[in-house]
Chains A and B, each alone.
Chain A
Amino acid sequence: MFDLLPHLLNGLTLGLLFALIALGFMLIVGLMEQINLAHGSLFALGAYVAMQLTGPRPPLPADLAKAWLALPLGWRYAATLVIAPVIVSLVGMLIELCMRRTYGKDPLYGLLLTFGAAMVIEELIRLVWGTRDYVLQVPSAINGGFLFGDLIWSTYRFYAAGIAAGIIGLLWLLIEKTSFGATVKAGAHDSEIVRALGINLSRLRLLVFVFGTMLAAVAGIIVAPIWGIRPHMGVDAVIPAFLVIVLGGVGSFWGAVVAGLLVGLCVGLAGAYASEWSLLSMYILLVAVVTFRARGLWGKKSVLEA
């Protein structure tokens, strides 16, 4: 039993990361009933922008760059965690402005539009940064490892899992406990009435999309030191994100979180015993659940299944 514990813990931290990756995707699916396949590319873009900002050659005028590099890495990292998502959210804004034309049509069109956007962003990443791998520098406080019970644990994994749990909690508060969340949910439920109440729904949707983009970028920055930064990381992220949402069920917040944890445990345990097949395990988990449950674990009725 004690042999299993590290794998379980590893799986849980991985699960929190999967949930974090899925959050932005979930926000847009749940509140706007749109599938954002560009989520993965925005995730990758977040990591690239952060790498550029914390790296030795920030894209700033010479004087500013000097001042910026004089700051300790910890400060730069913390600032980047805020700045990079804001920069990436501009791209998200552009996508939403295009996506507007597809609202009210078959959700397939939104999905295809974002698939095209994902292709374009990935190609642009290749153009700007090339195909080589990059490393995101992190402050030494969260780097390295520590000993616990005869085993070496990676500090960063726990930091990342902690951040993921924190963001999940904050997002839940935002959606469930604020008037902003209530308005947005009402907008997804009955857009006509919400408009009649004098609320600018298109601005609200733009805001939701931008917020989802920022979550994608933050997830990219947090996950980058574990997965590495390369052009393909977007595809590696969007598939698990999509999977977590479908497994948890569209429109269910805790469904997505539980699904993320399940996927993490599944991949973690499979990785311990048959590492070749670890990624296969999450697809088998999905097939096993969706074969018997029409809307994943706790999904609600939505236009996405028409």
Chain B
Amino acid sequence: MIVGSNSSSDAARLVTPTMLVLWLVLATVPLWITRIGLYPYLGIEILIWSLYALAFNLVLGRAGLPSFGHGAYFGIGAYSFGLCQLDIVANLWICLAAAAVVAGLAGVLVAMFISHRRGIYYAFMTIAFGQIFWTLAIKSHRITGGEDGLLKIKRLPADFGLVSFDLTDNVAFYYFVLAVFAVGVAALWRLVHSPYGRVVAAIRQSEVRAAHLGYNVWLYKASVFALSAAVSGFAGGLFAMAQLAAFPDVMSLHQSGYVVMMTLVGGGLVSFWGPVIGVFLFLTARDVIGALTNAWMLYFGLLFIAIVLFRPEGIAGALSAAMQRHSLNALRRRGTSAMRLLVGGGR
């Protein structure tokens, strides 16, 4: 069912052929993106949001936990990155680590409250915590800058000891984000296909069954949530660098809803790559349709309704269904010619 990994051996690999192709294609983006009327910054946004949506899909798609306040951890990561840079130390690696750690800790805190809840109660607890963090971000003027946001965040140079890269240019920053994205995708792929990931998938199918098999369901639910929050926070740190600021609106309920939409439209429930497809479609549509009409959310909303009604498994699901049908047809064709040969030979 997983698009791009039809052979099960892919699950055991660190880097799959699909990933290699994707990275190569993405590496050429700055060469042609301005020619088609778009700009490298869009590429940066798509990569960062893809990482965020992939992390989110650990919770929604893999564990089947309805988390509707995930923007909080993305935002916490952005603020942590900014505050670390402005108040503690202006080192890229330390600030990015701070973004992931602080968001992860917030995730642990929330997970302790919600992991013994299910369904609608779980969903609304995540919303409540999302709203709490969002309100805190807006109202703590002195720390976060309130609704104006935390400004003056710089793109710190990527210092590797021997060489140091300046990331202020959008193309340079794009390649940095791409490298981070590649590592992140490989890590998430390993996580999803590790024994740990299998248990999480089993919990999605049936919490009761997993518990009877002797797994500590609470611990798995809590840890996958915290992990997802940490990676979301890491992406948030990158986003703060991209925007040169951290704003509270990524933490709002609307924005948390968008990441759910992107993940589902892409097909996060059936495919590892679903969230990436969804983010690509959402952000490109925002820029392309948004340039033509102000009411682009109207059209995206209608598309979303249509997908929920007719293709609930999303675009990735539709693609893999089409591919399967195609290979089935090919098989059938081959089958008939083989039959003809047999029948012909018999005569």
What is the interface of chain A, defined by CB distance below 8 A to chain B?
35, 98, 101-102, 105, 107-109, 111-113, 115-117, 119-120, 122-124, 126-127, 235, 239, 242-243, 246, 250, 276-277, 279-280, 283-284, 286-287, 290-291, 294-296, 299, 302, 304-306
Contact of A101 among B121, B123, B128, B309 (CB under 8 A): B309
Are B308 and A295 in touch, CB under 8 angstroms?
no
Q: Which of B160-168, B240-248, B296-304, B315-323 contacts A (4 or more CB under 8 A)?
A: B296-304
Question: Nearest chain-B residue to A291 (Cβ)?
Answer: B113
Are A242 and B124 in touch, CB under 8 angstroms?
yes
Are A279 and B135 in touch, CB under 8 angstroms?
yes
Query: How distant is the Cα of A53 from the Cα of B66 in the complex, in angstroms?
Result: 40
Are B121 and A294 in touch, CB under 8 angstroms?
yes
In the assembled complex, 28 residue pairs joining A and B whose CB atoms fall closer than 8 Å, in A order, are: A107-B119, A107-B120, A112-B261, A116-B261, A116-B305, A117-B301, A119-B300, A119-B301, A120-B302, A126-B295, A127-B298, A235-B253, A235-B254, A242-B124, A277-B135, A277-B139, A279-B131, A279-B135, A283-B128, A283-B135, A286-B124, A286-B128, A287-B129, A290-B117, A290-B121, A299-B121, A304-B119, A305-B121
Interface footprint category on B: 35 or more
Question: Nearest chain-B residue to A120 (Cβ)?
Answer: B301
If the complex has contacts A112-B264, A283-B128, A305-B121, are A123 and B135 also in contact, measured as CB distance less than 8 A? no
Nearest CB on A from B295, distance (A): 5
Query: How distant is the Cα of A123 from the Cα of B264 in the complex, in angstroms?
Result: 21
Contact of B298 among A105, A123, A279 (CB under 8 A): A123
Are B132 and A284 in touch, CB under 8 angstroms?
yes
Query: How distant is the Cα of A304 from the Cα of B305 in the complex, in angstroms?
Result: 21
Query: How distant is the Cα of A108 from the Cα of B304 in the complex, in angstroms?
Result: 14
Residues of A within 8 A of B253 (CB): 235, 239
If the complex has contacts A116-B308, A119-B304, are A276 and B139 also in contact, measured as CB distance less than 8 A? yes
If the complex has contacts A109-B308, A127-B295, A305-B118, are A116 and B135 also in contact, measured as CB distance less than 8 A? no
Are B305 and A113 in touch, CB under 8 angstroms?
yes
Question: Nearest chain-A residue to B257 (Cβ)?
Answer: A115
Are B135 and A108 in touch, CB under 8 angstroms?
no
Query: How distant is the Cα of A126 from the Cα of B66 in the complex, in angstroms?
Result: 29
Q: Which of A111, A116, A242, A296 has the most chain B CB atoms inside 10 A of its CB?
A: A116
B184 within 8 A of A: no
Are B129 and A105 in touch, CB under 8 angstroms?
no
B127 within 8 A of A: yes
Known: A112-B260, A250-B120. 15 other contacts (CB 8 A): A101-B309, A102-B308, A112-B264, A235-B253, A277-B139, A280-B135, A284-B132, A286-B128, A287-B113, A287-B128, A295-B121, A302-B120, A305-B119, A305-B120, A305-B121
Are A246 and B312 in touch, CB under 8 angstroms?
no
B101 within 8 A of A: no
Query: How distant is the Cα of A108 from the Cα of B122 in the complex, in angstroms?
Result: 12
- Give the interface SS of chain A, mostly helix, strand, loop or mixed: helix
B125 within 8 A of A: yes
Contact of A123 among B257, B301, B305 (CB under 8 A): B301
Nearest CB on B from A201, distance (A): 20
Query: How distant is the Cα of A202 from the Cα of B136 in the complex, in angstroms?
Result: 45
Query: How distant is the Cα of A286 from the Cα of B295 in the complex, in angstroms?
Result: 35
Residues of A within 8 A of B302 (CB): 116, 120
Nearest CB on A from B94, distance (A): 31
Residues of A within 8 A of B300 (CB): 119
Nearest CB on A from B343, distance (A): 45
Query: How distant is the Cα of A81 from the Cα of B41 in the complex, in angstroms?
Result: 50
Nearest CB on A from B53, distance (A): 15
Contact of B312 among A98, A105, A126, A291 (CB under 8 A): A105
Are B308 and A113 in touch, CB under 8 angstroms?
yes
Query: How distant is the Cα of A84 from the Cα of B118 in the complex, in angstroms?
Result: 37
Q: Digit string of B102-140 for contact with A (CB within 8 Å is 1, else 0)? A: 000000000001001111111111011101100110010
